[in-house]
Amino acid sequence: MDLAHLVSRANRSVPCSSAASHYWVTVGEPQASAGDNITVQFTCKHCDKRVYEFLSREQYFLCENQLKGVFK
């Protein structure tokens, strides 16, 4: 499942070197961080570019099922 809607606009605007556009999937487990944020790692399935995004608690819990569905 492409999770591009959770990746920041700055990271989405960088062109993918292997395909027409990035296909973002999560890598590893989400981690709690300071300021009530949750850090999620994403990687592009095509070019292996890795980015880290900070999601607010509300944003994380809204998308929790999509994120956890990837780990099953």
Hey, where are the domains in the chain? 4-71
Q: So what's the pLDDT on residue 65?
A: 82
Measure Cα distances from 71 to 14, 19, 20, 67 in Å. Answer: 26, 24, 26, 7
Give the Cα separation of 15 and 22 in Å (integer): 7
pLDDT at residue 4 is higher than 90: no
Taking only the tens place, the pLDDT of each residue in 12-67 is 888 998 888 899 999 888 899 888 899 999 999 999 999 999 999 999 999 888 88
Q: So what's the pLDDT on residue 70?
A: 53
> How many other CB atoms are found less than 10 A from the CB of residue 63?
15
What DSSP designation does 33 have? Answer: E
